[in-house]
Amino acid sequence: MFSEVKIAILDLYDGYPNEGMRCIKMLIGDFLAQDTVKGDFDVFDVRGDGALPKIEDYDIFISTGGPGSPVVQGFQWEKRFFNFFDSLLAHNKNHEDKKHMLLICHSFQLMVQHFNFGLVTKRMSTSFGVMSVHQTEDAKDEILFEGLEDPFWAVDSRDYQVIQPDEEKLKEHNAHILALEKIRPHIPLERAIMGIRLTDEVVGFQFHPEADAEGMQRYFLQADKKMAVVNEHGEDKYEDMILQLNDPDKILLTESVIIPKFLNNSLKNISIPTE
């Protein structure tokens, strides 16, 4: 018995060179290569072409990170993205064939602003590298974190952050904060929100669950990227980052757990004809 599944990638990279799309496509390819699954995926250039999928044509949606400020500026593509998102949620409220969606980094910050879950603001300095992510009490039953330690490790790459959660807005939508950034006892600043589950079908993360060691190592070995890390954090931090990339208990584990679990769990909970 095979399940035919249709997946849409919402590409928010705006043509900017990145490793994220390669990683997402690779993870989807591994998922579709399973003996009991067949299907395909399509990519939609949300920012460059204003392209968005038809909700009824797809079962699973992954919305990517992207460059530039995530602060909503009223661009036409932003309005179209929010209309799509609202339509997906409305579909799930009114239909048995639920649509599942994962939002990453830039997409996550857009979602937060759309529902006023918190404040999206520029950080004092860029957060970039392999960082610890701490689970909240609300994450104790989070299926996508099963198999991960607390804290777990993930690739972080952002100039902006989500802080000052609005508890009333979160409660209004029955949304739950799943994760916070690393503990910094020597810095008197609020810890950023790293993950929110909006519904049973929709979840978003600030970090990059798709990142793999190969892509990050290639990225870090670029002269300008290395210099940026060394200038910001020092040579020792840079060397430590390179070592962490191949640690099986760090981003290799996170990459192998979150998106694969999201895809497989989505497949179990959507109505797809089998043959």
Walk along the chain (275 residues) and give the pLDDT tens digit of each residue.
556 899 999 999 999 988 999 999 999 999 999 998 999 999 999 999 999 999 999 999 999 999 999 999 999 999 999 999 999 999 999 999 999 999 999 999 999 999 999 999 999 887 878 889 999 999 999 999 999 999 999 999 898 999 999 999 999 999 999 999 988 877 788 999 999 999 999 999 999 999 998 888 887 787 877 887 788 778 887 888 788 777 888 999 999 999 999 999 999 987 665 55
Instruction: Give the pLDDT score at 13.
Output: 97
Instruction: Give the pLDDT score at 213.
Output: 84
Torsion-angle region of 205 (φ positive above 0: left; ψ -120 to 50: alpha; else: beta): beta
What is the total residue count of the chain?
275
Instruction: Give the pLDDT score at 224.
Output: 78
Question: Residue 172 is inside which H or E element, if any?
Answer: helix 167-172
What are the contacts of 132-135 at 24+ separation with CB within 8 A? 132/182, 132/183, 133/179, 133/180, 133/181, 133/182, 133/194, 133/195, 133/207, 134/179, 134/180, 134/181, 134/182, 134/183, 134/194, 135/178, 135/179
Instruction: Give the pLDDT score at 125.
Output: 81
Instruction: Give the pLDDT score at 63.
Output: 98
Instruction: Give the pLDDT score at 11.
Output: 98
Instruction: Give the pLDDT score at 271.
Output: 63
Instruction: Give the pLDDT score at 217.
Output: 83
pTM beyond cutoff 0.75: yes
